[in-house]
Amino acid sequence: MDCIFCKIIKGEIPSTKLYEDDEFIVIKDVNPQAPVHLLAIPKEHFASVAELDDERAVVVGKMIKKLAEIAKEKGLDDGFRIITNKGKHGCQSVAHLHLHLLGGRQLDEKMG
Ligand code: AMP
């Protein structure tokens, strides 16, 4: 499958990995939009939150928990944002579910 995140997970494309377990990885975004911009990516390929089932939702919950822990380790005590994009209107550019962690500066109040 021609998926850039699957290739990163398999080690076929380099990435800066901050965390890995059996279910997901956390890497640095290659085009950071904030001083801290990380991506949590499940190892199972599925496109977006629209494809969640109960099992996948548990993994996504663990991804959120891990990102919050990393945010604490990185000293983002003034706050941060965790988001996921879905489809064209959501500006999703990689069709493999991922969560963005953004922080380290004042983020925009407007969400869209
Ligand atoms: P989205 O627009 O929500 O689908 O986010 C995709 C994100 O993946 C963007 O923020 C990209 O900068 C990021 N990205 C694309 N290719 C890579 C890569 N090879 N390594 C790390 N991040 C990437």
Kindly report whether the global pTM for this prediction surpasses the value 0.95: yes
Please say if the pLDDT value at position 43 is more than 90: yes
Whichever domain contains 12, its CATH number is: 3.30.428.10
Q: Whose CA is nearest to atom 3 of ligand 1?
A: 92
Please say if the pLDDT value at position 112 is more than 90: no
Query: Which atom of ligand 1 has the smallest separation from the CA of 28?
Result: 21
Active site residues: 98
Total number of domains constituting the chain: 1
Q: Is residue 110 part of a domain?
A: no
- When pLDDT is averaged across residues 26-34 and rounded to a whole number, the result is 98
91 lines ligand 1 (CB under 6 A): yes
Q: What percent of the chain has pLDDT over 70?
A: 100
Q: What percent of the chain has pLDDT over 90?
A: 97
Mutate to test the pocket of ligand 1, among 41, 93, 101 (most ligand atoms within 8 A of CB): 93
Transcribe the chain into DSSP letters.
---HHHHHHHTSS---EEEE-SSEEEEE-SS-SSSEEEEEEESS---SGGG--HHHHHHHHHHHHHHHHHHHHTT-TT-EEEE---TTTTT--SSS--EEEEESSPPPS---
